[in-house]
Amino acid sequence: MISDVVILGGGPAGLSAAIAAAQAGASVVVVDENPRPGGKLLGQLHEEENGKWWIGAEVSKSLAVQAVEAGVQILPNRQVWNLSPEWEVSLDGGETICADYAVVATGAAERPVPMPGWTLPGVMAIGAAQTLTNYYRVRPGDRIAIVGLDPLSLTVAHELSMAGAVVVGIYLPGMNDFAKEQADPDRSLKYLAGMSDLAPNAFLRLGGKLAALGALRSLALTFYPPTGIPLMGTRLNLRKSVVAIGGQGRVQYVDVASVDKLGNPGRTRRVEVDCVCLSGGLYPVQELTKGCELAYIEQLGGTIPLHSPEMETSRPNLFVAGTVTGIEGAKIAMAQGRLAGTVIASRVGLLRGPELVAEAEAAVDRARESSAITFMPEIKAGRRIAHERWLELDGSSLTAKKEIYT
């Protein structure tokens, strides 16, 4: 199969890149591992600032329809086994796609939260619970404990309640080698403060308000009610951590320890649940960017491919878009995708003048400014570091790139 552009990943970034390139006239193939396009957008559901609901499944469908109408070929249920330069994509079924340009839009995955009992059926990553609830419409449990405090876990707690589950509480993970920072109540409070600027719903706003105490933070922890504070039908517990999960053949309970200000466990109590959702945060997935210049940037959530403001990596004609470049929301991923698709259309010679590329670049900035939710509290610093690292890159790859521009 031969096309102008091959896009790896059919989530919000990949589909948006496909739409932009195909609407300009490029031939585009999108490869995705899942049966339906949309990626993690499929399960998203939250109320926006304007009071309207962001229904990820509907946004995904609309993107897929636009892509198909623009002539994009979407190949679902395919695993990419290899991406070799300039560009040949090998798929698990033996198919090969050759393209002049490639976009890696492989998104993010969740950091695991290992603890005693976490392999029992009924323990799952928070993102799995989100997709089951909002997309497949299956409640992952009737009484659910959430472990880990972040924007995703708070949002999903609300979504589970809306779907009729009892969320018995949101807890910190127990202090162990895997969860040092997450288990620290002070760090969790700081984290809440960082994401509170423009929270998407009352649930997050309340959490943010608490943390906005700033300098009074440690005082807040000292006086933080041991029973937690009520939030949308559940309790946020900064002074309790889940130290073990147990049950015969399935989840039946969690052991919850009271913790002091530093996160050290004290007395333990057993709480009956049939499901535990673990939230360890997200990291960008770099399985297909191995040949690119990569950098570990903590503020972006992990290792990312360094890229130009136009989303091109250090390997000419290999682009990236979406959370593979750092943990941000779906609207930013879509804007990045449109930018990558527009730049490629311009390179193919389908667009006249630089205006559309400049406009797509500005749209990414606008999406960031109007973003209702910040997953990574220091995302702006992370983006700045990433850009500086990009500018520091010299050598053949960038020289080659300049030649393309002239």
Partner 1 sequence: MKRISDHPVLGPLTHAEIGIEFDGEQYRALEGDSVAAALLANGIRTLRYSNRTGEPRGIYCGIGHCYECRMTINGVQSVRSCITPACDGDVLESQGDDREQSGDF
**166: contact with partner 1 by CB under 8 A:** no
Question: Pick from 226, 249, 353, 395: which binds partner 1 (CB under 8 A)?
Answer: 249
The amino acid that residue 99 corresponds to is A
Nearer to partner 1, 56 or 263 (CB): 56
Question: What one-character-per-residue DSSP string does 29-72 give?
Answer: EEE-SSSSTTGGGGG-EEE-TTS-EEEHHHHHHHHHHHHHHTTP
Based on CB atoms, which residue is closest to partner 1, 112 or 349? Answer: 112
The residue among 110 and 328 lying less far from partner 1, judged by its C-beta, is: 110
Residue selected from 180, 205, 250, 366 as contacting partner 1 according to rule CB under 8 A: 250
Neighbouring residues of 129: CB distance < 8 A, sequence distance ≥ 6: 140, 144, 156, 160, 275, 277
Residue 167, H or E segment: strand 166-173
Cβ neighbors of 160 (< 8 A, separation 6 or more) are 129, 133, 139, 140, 144, 167, 277
> 37 to 56, contacts with partner 1 by CB under 8 A?
40, 45, 53, 55
Q: Under the criterion CB under 8 A, does residue 266 sit at the interface with partner 1?
A: no
Q: State the nearest-atom distance from the C-beta of 290 to partner 1, in Å.
A: 17
State in angstroms the smallest separation of the CB of 231 from partner 1: 18
Task: Considering the complex, state which of residue 21 and residue 123 has its C-beta at the smaller distance from partner 1.
Answer: 123
| 132 or 330: CB nearest partner 1 | 132
Q: Which is nearer to partner 1, 129 or 220 (CB)?
A: 129
- Which residues lie below 8 Å from residue 62, measured CB to CB, with a gap of 6+? none
93 contacts partner 1 (rule: CB under 8 A): no
Choices 96-104, 112-120, 260-268, 302-310 (CB under 8 A): range interacting with partner 1: 112-120
> Which residue, 134 or 155, has its beta carbon nearer to partner 1?
134
By the rule CB under 8 A, 235 interacts with partner 1: no
Q: How far is the CB of 137 from partner 1 (least distance, A)?
A: 4
Piece in contact with partner 1 (CB under 8 A), picked from 2-10, 14-22, 113-121, 221-229: 113-121
Using the contact rule CB under 8 A, the part of the chain among 16-24, 107-115, 300-308, 380-388 near partner 1 is 107-115
Residue showing tokens 């490639």? 102
- Residue 124 CB, shortest distance to partner 1, in Å, is 5
Encoded amino acid at 253, one letter: Y
38: left (phi over 0), alpha (psi -120 to 50) or beta: left
- Own/partner pairs for 356-359, CB < 8 Å, 24+ apart? 357/310
Which CB sits closer to partner 1, 274 or 328? 274
Nearest approach, Cβ of residue 275 and partner 1 (Å): 7
Residues 266 and 136 sit within 8 Å (Cβ to Cβ): no
Measure the CA–CA gap between 269 and 255, rounded to whole angstroms.
Answer: 6
- Quick one: which of 369, 360, 315 has its CA closest to 340? 360
Please identify which residue in 12, 14, 38, 127 interacts with partner 1, judged by CB under 8 A: 127
Query: Between residues 112 and 214, which has the closer beta carbon with respect to partner 1?
Result: 112
Residue 197 token pair: 């600027």
Q: Which residues lie closer than 8 Å to 382 by C-beta, 6 or more apart? A: 297, 298, 299, 300, 326, 376
Q: List, as one string, the DSSP characters of 257-295.
A: EEE-TT--EEEEEEEE-SEEEE---EEE--TT-TTS-EE
Q: Is 125 in the site for partner 1 (CB under 8 A)?
A: yes
Q: Give the binding site for partner 1 (CB under 8 A).
A: 33-35, 40, 45, 53, 55, 109-110, 112, 119-125, 127-129, 131-134, 136-142, 162-164, 249-250, 274-275
